[in-house]
């Protein structure tokens, strides 16, 4: 693709994505997930949503790539299918790390982390980290609780962004990256808020502590 990966632009240090482009990228990947989860006629879980798997075309339209770990799921199954743990630390939902059961919810979690990278310009974890807790989510949630979301905005933007969109994106992505999968939105619900067709979710001021919650299946 003409413009390389999202990871390259966020962390490669050579270019700076403007805010309107970042918001368009986040919404574009949400649209891709909506197609996989609800509109393709099949139920597909990607399992490896991360900034290096988001490719940009010449107009900076986002494309979701690398389907090597994707799995076709059975929508009628009452229990999530055990697929075996695969993906990238920092983007994997805590219940997926624990059980190896990939779901739409685990994709939504990964999307939430990836979109926080877009807003904050930070990676979710340190390169050597391996575990279910995601420091980026905890850091942003703390700023949300302190009503200082502007503090987490990517400094390279130099405050040149739409504050309403920035707050919307960050709050929606915290919702998507909620450690309790039962309290995450569907990707359709997330898109409705991102397009300002639904109100912002009411999240707790402190991040919930149940990163290893009990499996409810």
- CA distance linking residue 85 with residue 64, whole number of Å: 20
**Choice among 4, 7, 48, 107 that is catalytic:** 48
- Catalytic, 48? Answer yes
DSSP letter for each residue of 18-60: -HHHHHHHHHHHHHHHHIIIIISSSEEE-S---GGGEEE-TT-
Query: Which residues, other chains included, contact 141 with Cβ-Cβ below 8 Å and sequence gap of 6+?
Result: 174, 203, 206, 207
Residue found under tokens 């055990």: 82
The pairs formed by 199-204 with CB atoms below 8 angstroms and a separation of 24 or more are: 200/167, 200/168, 200/171, 200/172, 201/171, 201/172, 201/175, 203/141, 203/144, 203/171, 203/174, 203/175, 203/178, 204/145
Name the nearest CA neighbour of 115 among 72, 70, 159, 54.
54
Active site residues: 48
């Amino acid at each position: 693709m003409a413009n390389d990966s999202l990871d390259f632009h966020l962390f490669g240090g050579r270019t700076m994505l403007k805010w309107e482009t970042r918001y368009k990228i986040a919404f574009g990947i949400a649209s891709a997930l909506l197609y996989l989860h609800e509109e393709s006629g099949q139920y597909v879980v990607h399992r490896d949503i991360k900034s290096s798997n988001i490719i940009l075309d010449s107009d900076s339209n986002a494309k979701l790539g690398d389907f090597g770990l994707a799995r076709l799921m059975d929508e009628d199954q009452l229990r999530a299918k055990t697929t075996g743990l695969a993906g990238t630390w920092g983007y994997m939902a805590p219940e997926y790390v624990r059980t190896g059961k990939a779901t739409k919810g685990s994709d939504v979690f990964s999307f939430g982390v990836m979109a926080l990278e877009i807003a904050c310009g930070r990676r979710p974890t340190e390169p050597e980290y391996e575990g279910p807790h995601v420091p980026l989510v905890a850091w942003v949630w703390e700023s949300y609780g302190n009503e200082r979301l502007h503090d987490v905005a990517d400094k390279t933007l130099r405050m040149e962004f739409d504050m309403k969109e920035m707050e919307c994106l960050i709050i929606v992505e915290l919702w998507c990256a909620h450690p309790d999968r039962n309290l995450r939105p569907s990707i359709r619900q997330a898109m409705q808020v991102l397009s300002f067709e639904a109100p912002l979710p009411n999240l707790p001021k402190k991040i919930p502590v149940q990163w290893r919650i009990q499996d409810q299946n």
